[in-house]
Amino acid sequence: MASYNKNNAWAERQVEDANLGSDQFVIYLTANGSAPVATNSVLGDVTEVSYTNLSTRNITTSSSSQSSGTYKLVLTDLVLTASGAVATFRWVFIYNDTATNDELICYGKATRDLDNIIVVVVNLDCYHVQSGWVELPLQDLGLDPEHPYQMHDLLSDARYLWHGARNFVQLDPGRSPAHIFRLRRRVHNERDFDYFL
C-alpha cells in the first residue's frame, strides 16, 4: 500500500501565488536517495530519475473547491508509459509547473560555438526573497535534455546540477540579488564522478 508523506514547506511553496483550479501541476519521479524530508521546499532539493520517452507527466484537475479554509483539489488518474528506459523510482512529488514571478528577470549570452554560455538571473525586489522558474532553450544551447548540466555561479562559486529545461531559483537580496551562471556541460563520467567543462 502506498504511503503519503506531506512536506509542509514543499506544499506551501507549490501553492504560494498559485491558482489551484487552473495552474498546471506535474509529477516529478525521484529515487530512493531522494526520500522526502521536512526541509524539502523547492524542486532543487530532490533529484529526478532519468528516463527516455516518458508519457506526459501533467496532472489534470477534475474539480477544486474551498470550504472553511481548506482547499480540496481532485485530480484524475495518471498512467505513465515509456517507450525507453525509466530508472527505478520510489517517490512522486507534485509541483506547480505554471508559477512565474515578475520580480525575477533572466537573460543570457553565448559564444557562436557555444563553448561559453552565461546565464544571469536577477531579483528585481531589493527587499524580499523571490523565487521562480528559469527555462532554458536546451536545443538552442546544444544540450541533451536527458543529461544534467552544471550551473556555476561566478559570484558565489556555488555549483548547481540542473536537469531539463526548467529549474528553480531563489534569490535573497540580503545575500545575493543575482546569479551569474556559467553553464558547464557534462563531458564524461568516471567511477561515479561527473566532470563539467
Indicate the pTM of the whole model.
Answer: 0.53
DSSP E strand boundaries for 41-153 = 58-59, 61-67, 70-75, 91-96, 104-110, 117-123, 130-135, 149-153
Residue 161 has pLDDT above 80, yes or no: yes
Residue 186 has which C-alpha cell?
557534462
Task: Count the Cβ atoms, other than its own, within 10 Å of residue 145.
Answer: 11
Q: What's phi and psi for 9, nearest 5 deg?
A: -60, -40
Check: CB of residue 96 under 8 Å from CB of residue 106: no
Domain coordinates in residue numbering, the chain: 8-96, 104-196
- Report whether pLDDT(1) > 50: no
| DSSP code of residue 86 | B
Position 182 scores a pLDDT of 96
CATH class of residue range 104-196: mainly beta
**pLDDT above 50 (res 68):** yes
